[in-house]
Each structure stands twice: as structure tokens, then as C-alpha cells.
Amino acid sequence: LSSIFLFYDKEECKNGMDDDVPYYSFISGWLAANVNIIVTFPINKVLFRQQIHGINSLTAFRQIRYEGLVMLPRGMLPPLLQKATSTAIMFSSYEKFYRIYSNHVFSRSSSSVRRFSAGASAGLVECVFIPFERVQTLLVNDNHHSRFSNSFQIVNELWTKGGMIEFYRGFNAIIYRNFFATGLWFLCRQPLQEALPHSGAKLTNIASDFLSGAVLGAILSTLFYPLAVAKMHIMSKVSGSPFNSVSQALHEVYMQRGRSFKNIYWGTRINFLRSLLAWGIVNASYEFLMKTVFQCSNHKI
């Protein structure tokens, strides 16, 4: 990160030197994600409990309140390491893929095809961080509180009892989610941002960027919510358990929750609210950093 700041030149970015934009995009995405994680972590913890146990938000909140403030930050380290970096890579690799596809693979295709393809490709690159999601899922699952006291214990058990493959349990659900959700997010992001009012006033632009990111993130996270439930169900299992496909995981959840499709969607309301806040923060912070701090007006939205 220090090397990026050391060689950072606002004029190069402002004047359209595309090769430098992904570096500034990485920094902006990393900082935006950290702000989002710190603000929304308590909401995420309630949501995780709902997805794992199939309980309502009030019950999940009472569980977390009963555990006390000392246990509240438990599970925050993996997303700070994983989500911040993966979000940074998502934005920077999107910028890079968009330029590659524009100049080579999809040079004759519409910008919509290039945006979706670049977004889907960036989503696939994010999959390298699956081990962090695996560790976080086990940390926030209260069934494992007595078994694991920290991330290092989980890493040690997964490695010694299952090997590298255990860290990628849930890979199938994540690859589907990342490919389609990230592709659609970047596909729709530009038209939505352009439809909202922007002016010379910074507050107006920040509000528009927040709203576009919030609405799009909330809709897509709700659309792909069953994949999130399947991922949590698969990843919450310890070493030695059978590896399930997405369909098998959803069937198990369906059976455990009283043979009700409706109960698979437990947590969608708080997930919708969490996504509104999270993606609004990420998008507004990212755009502010790119346009105001780094003055990269030529980045691909």
C-alpha cells in the first residue's frame, strides 16, 4: 500500500493513464470495505445466526446480547482480512478486466457485455479468499464457541484433520454467487448511477452514489439469498462431515426448517437492510475516494 502512495500522481490518473487506475481502485476499495465492515459487523452477526439456525432476528439479537460485548467482535478479524482485500481486488480487477475485454476479447461487443463479463471475472478472482469465509463462519457459529476460541485454532484443526480441501468447503455456492451477483452488480451500476442526480455539490454526489449502491446491493443480495443460506449451511460443518452440493444443502435446510420454502428465507429482511447500508457505504466511499482523493475521473463505473 505504501508503494502505491509513494508513486501516486494525481495528474496521471486525472489525465487518463488507464494502467494506473486499477492501483488506485484497489486502495479505494480496501478503505471503503473497512469502513463498511466496522459499521455493519453487528448486523452481520445477527444475520449469520439466522442463516445458520433458522431463527428470527429478535432471537438472534437476544443470543448475541446474552453473550455480552466481549464476544461481539468475535469473528471480525477474518472479514477485515478477507472482505476488505477481496472488495479491493473486486474493484481493481474489474477495472483491469474491463480494459482487457474492451481492447481484445469483447472489443466489438456492447458496453453492457463488457461490464457483466468484467464483473463476473472479478467475482471469480475473489474466490481465492474462500478460506477466510470458512474460518469466519465457524467463529460466529455459537455451536462451536466451546470448541474454538480463536481463528488460529480453527485453521489448525481444518489443516490437520482435513487438509487444504477443508478450507474450500462451500466453494460451489460461492462461485455461483460471485459470478452472477458481481457480474450483475457491475452491469447495472453504471445505468443506475447515471439515472440519479449528480451535481457540483459533493454531498449530492455522495448521496446519489450511496443510493445506487444501496438499492442494487439490497436487490441482488435478496435475489441470491438462498445461495448464502446454502453456503452458511455447508461452511458451518466441521472437518470430517460429508461435502454437500448446493442442492443437497438447500434440501437439508428445507427439511430442518419444517419442510417450508418460506423458512429458507429467514433473515431476508435484516439481510436487505444490512445490504442497503453495506453496499451504500462501499459504493459511496469508493466513488468519493476515486473521484475526490485520487481524482480518477476516468475509472469505469
pLDDT the model gives residue 15: 42
Q: What is the rounded average pLDDT for all residues in the chain?
A: 84
CA distance 25 to 22: 5
Residues 89 and 81 sit within 8 Å (Cβ to Cβ): no
State the Cα angle at 249 between 275 and 128, rounded to 5°: 60
pLDDT digits (tens, 9 = 90+) for 112-149: 999 999 999 999 999 988 998 888 888 877 777 778 88
Q: How far apart are CA 147 and CA 145, in angstroms?
A: 5
3-state DSSP assignment of residue 78: helix
Integer CA distances (angstroms), 66 to 48, 63, 139, in order: 16, 5, 17
Cβ atoms of 28 and 294 within 8 Å: the answer is yes
- So what's the pLDDT on residue 69? 78
Q: Which stretches of 20-70 are DSSP H helices?
A: 21-53, 57-67
Burial class (CB in 10 A: 0-12, 13-18, 19+), 153: middle
pLDDT the model gives residue 299:
60
Q: What share of the chain has pLDDT > 90, as a percent?
A: 38
- Supply the pLDDT for residue 18: 53
Handedness of CA 220, 142, 171, 55 (dihedral sign): negative
8 A C-beta contact, residue 141 and residue 75: no
Distance CA 188, CA 180 (A): 12
Tell me the whole-structure pTM to 2 decimals. Answer: 0.79
Cell digits for 76? 471480525
% of the chain beyond a pLDDT of 70: 91
What are the tens digits of pLDDT across the range 192-226?
988 887 777 788 888 999 999 999 999 999 999 99
**Cα–Cα distance, 153 to 149 (Å, whole number):** 7
Task: Region of 244 please: left (phi>0), alpha (psi -120 to 50) or beta.
Answer: beta
What the block records as the C-alpha cell of 64 is 448475541
Contact of 114 with 101, CB cutoff 8 Å: yes
Q: pLDDT band at 300, cuts 50/70/90?
A: low
Q: In the predicted model, what is the mean pLDDT of residues 44-59?
A: 78
* Rounded Cα–Cα distance for residues 299 and 14 (Å): 10
pLDDT in tens, 13-34: 444 445 567 788 899 999 999 9
Question: Rg of the Cα trace of the chain?
Answer: 20
Q: Which helix (H) or strand (E) holds 68?
A: none
Q: Are 217 and 275 in contact (CB under 8 A)?
A: yes
**Residues 6 or more apart whose Cβ sits within 8 Å of residue 276:** 214, 215, 217, 218
